[in-house]
Structure 1
Amino acid sequence: MRNKLLLRADDLGYSEAVNYGIEKSVKEGLINNVGIMLNMRATKHGYHLLKDQDIAFGQHTNICVGRPLANPKDIPSLVESDGSFKSSNTYRNTEEDFVVFEEALIEIEAQYQQFLYLFKRKPDYFEGHAITSKTFFKALEYFAKENNLKYSGVPDGEDPNISIGSDASIFVGETKIYMVMESMDKDYDPWETLKNMAENAHEDGVDMMICHPGYLDDFILNHSSLLIPRTKEVAMLIDERMKAFLDERGMEFVGYRDL
């Protein structure tokens, strides 16, 4: 039996440079699952780059970058006085979970409607851009259940703002997913991360690596703490040596539509 591997790219729409890196990782590389941020200025740019690709598209729900799609007056717990989202820094530096469940649902719904408008169908999977708020993830899970969406959450006890180790797992439907995300590590080497995953693949589920491939432009340099690892991931994902290595290991690539 071949071990199964799911490679996911988050953040389509974050910036045009990020979009180009994700595009290359899909068209020339190993990515076949892409999460799109629906509220960003570069959302439609990213959509048009990849809309004709036969890959799984997910709603990568974002409430910490840019401006909301809902009326800011309806979601005061999520926004600053100028109507923009509170930053991930604000979430990290506040002990209290200030997100109001009902307000999170309002913005989640607005972004869901934007996904439907762009793609004319439901997302293949449904999850959220990492922030430190249990309320936000509870709202995502609730919304997914209410709308019969394939929710891909965060393993219990794991902080989505730091590394997620190789034995952390979730269930997506009936499938056990072993989730790895190490891009925040100081000496992160995406080649070693994926190589270790393949060499230690689990027999009772699917091994998933969450990637953030992308190139850098002024917007991403000023709005994200995750920078050089994005470019390293593009290079790894399009490297023919990695493709050959995974093929030698007998890895079977799967997508959310297979779960």
Structure 2
Amino acid sequence: MEYQAKYITEDIKLSCYDDKFFKSDIMFDHHMLIWFISGETKIVRPEGTYMFGKGDIFLVPRNQLATIINYPKDGLPHKTVVMHLTTAWLRNFYDGLPVTPSAADVPGIRHYTGHPLLESCLASLVPYFEMNNLPPGIANLKITEAVTILRSIDPGIDQVLASFEEPGKIDLAGYMEKNFMFNMTLEKFGYLTGRSLTTFKRDFKKAFSSTPQRWLTKKRLELAHYQFTEKKRKPIEVCYEVGFENLSHFSFAFKKHFGYAPSELLAAGVP
């Protein structure tokens, strides 16, 4: 994979993937505002699958799991401007503002494509990536500009950006049923359900009468089987979206579990 990143600061970068594709299962520690210059991204979330391409602008909330697959397109690399909206910066920004976020549902990805002010703000960052001596404080000014624009075009954004609570203890079974397809460490799953690793494993055993790894593998393979039989999708598409890291390991695990390979299932129409 040919990957390059240029930074204005650690919170603002120009990201570029030249390779055929790149896949990652991610939990973002910070909100991420992203503007597409070229290429295409598929983002798999519990509520659905999103496709983004040239010109799209979107915000991915922090502490949310996602499978991200980046592709070049039309002979151009996958290139984006990425702005991290950190908790520390946002606390300072909202300090003194009359904003009291209420307990909200889990936020989804927010779309801002077609807003000229926001696109102009993010596009104006591009020349700075080629400069060695940046004007003092320019990054802070640009993040302030972006958040100010977001607040003017999205009435609900304060409920997302001004919420600084960390994950509390939640229903483990319900959470895992919605998020099993994301290839996270058990430590991350524990954090997101408000548990230490030890408590997560103990509560998991009580909820599912199984170890996390056995249960996760079974659920991912069952989801893959459904995608093959009901959606007629290809193994290369399904493999990465159900939590596996490579096609050969996925095919081996699938055949071991079901007794036939994905290719055999699709060819024979096994129900």
Report the TM-score, using the length of structure 2 for normalisation. Answer: 0.26
Higher Cα Rg: structure 1 or 2?
2
- Write 1 or 2 for the structure with the bigger share of strand: 2
Identify the structure with bigger relative contact order (alpha carbons < 8 Å, sequence gap 6+).
1
Q: Give me the TM-score of the superposition, normalised by structure 1.
A: 0.27
